[in-house]
Amino acid sequence: MKLSWNDVTPEPLVLNRRAVIAGLGLAAAGPALPARAAVDPGKPNSFEEITNYNNFYEFGFGKTDPAENAGALTTDPWAVDIGGMIDRPGSYSLADIAPANAVEDRIYRLRCVEAWSMVIPWQGVPLAGVLARVGVQPSAKFVEFQTLLRPEEMPEQRRRSLDWPYVEGLRLDEAMHPLTLLATGLYGKPLPNQNGAPIRLVVPWKYGFKSAKSLVRITLTDRQPVSTWQAMQPSEYGFYANVNPGVDHPRWSQATERPIGAGLFGGRKETLMFNGYADEVAHLYAGMDLARDY
């Protein structure tokens, strides 16, 4: 069964909206919880900008490489294995994870570690709702995400430029936060291959590399996952990867960012703590040293 997009906001309407975040529905966990964005993320980037300036290293390290090379990716059929410390492990189809009548519109800022940013109108379902349905066990503390390993369709995997498959992780409270999204589309269209089709993670207060694409496995665990970039370059990429203008990347400053689509004279802008979502998520890190736990 394929997802239907009949009820998803079309592009012209999205362009006239800002932070559209519906209540978080947990079918098995009681009343809905409010989800909101305290900071207006700004006008969304165009579909062309969003789909032609990407980081998806399985298809190349240039910003246009994913759009040029991802066309061969097969995304139907697709299933995500959800397992580990849950009550109902199994292989779940896209329709199981994101039924069409549960898909929400959300406009989030994306801030990349290379100091560029976009505003993207996603469609998807809160990760918390999915985890509630599979039954998270009390011993679970972290969520590990694994992306597709298919070197015959992903050219960089044949070159072994990274330690594939790509792995990322969140603390359980981060994963259960109402802003954390499993995205299946943008601008009312199914998610393009270069943007992480057919399903990807979106964690808007963290740098973009935390939002793993083309997910095939979600595992609940009691141990902190070792993410791909953390394993390869631990001095540059920590587990948390929260947007923090006060902590520089070892090779460049994170104090400012370059909005994609701003033009030659658009200039740079100051980077906001937690990418502008501090009111919603700062409490998750109370008492932590965010320069050490980067």
For residue 13, pLDDT beyond 70: no
- Considering the four listed CATH numbers 3.90.1150.10, 3.40.190.10, 3.40.250.10, 3.90.420.10, the one that applies to the domain covering 11-285 is 3.90.420.10
Half-sphere exposure of 31 (CA within 13 A, CB side): 2
Which whole number is the average pLDDT over 32-58?
Answer: 81
Alpha carbons 212 and 122: distance in angstroms, whole number: 15
Contact 256, 270 (CB under 8 A): yes
Q: Give the model confidence (pLDDT) of 188-199 as tens digits.
A: 999 999 999 999
Contact 197, 75 (CB under 8 A): yes
Contact 169, 227 (CB under 8 A): yes
R_g (Cα) of the chain, nearest Å = 18
| Global model pTM greater than 0.75 | yes
Better pLDDT: 20 or 143: 143
Give the pLDDT band of residue 38 (cuts 50, 70, 90). low
DSSP three-state, residue 208: helix
Which whole number is the average pLDDT over 24-32?
Answer: 32
Give the pLDDT band of residue 161 (cuts 50, 70, 90). confident
For residue 21, pLDDT beyond 70: no
The pLDDT of residue 51 is: 98
The two structure tokens encoding residue 215: 């997910």
Q: Give the model confidence (pLDDT) of 113-151 as tens digits.
A: 999 999 999 999 999 999 999 999 999 999 999 999 999
Alpha carbons 229 and 103: distance in angstroms, whole number: 30
The pLDDT of residue 265 is: 65
Better pLDDT: 10 or 217: 217
Q: Give the model confidence (pLDDT) of 235-292 as tens digits.
A: 899 999 999 999 999 899 999 999 999 876 678 999 999 999 999 999 999 999 999 9
For residue 10, pLDDT beyond 60: no
Angle at 24 between CA 226 and CA 104, to 5 degrees: 90
Cα 44 to the chain's mean position, in Å? 16
Enclosing H/E stretch for 12: helix 11-14
Alpha carbons 282 and 136: distance in angstroms, whole number: 24
For residue 18, pLDDT beyond 90: no
The pLDDT of residue 110 is: 96
CB-based contacts of 10, cutoff 8 Å, min separation 6: 187, 188
The pLDDT of residue 11 is: 53
The pLDDT of residue 42 is: 86
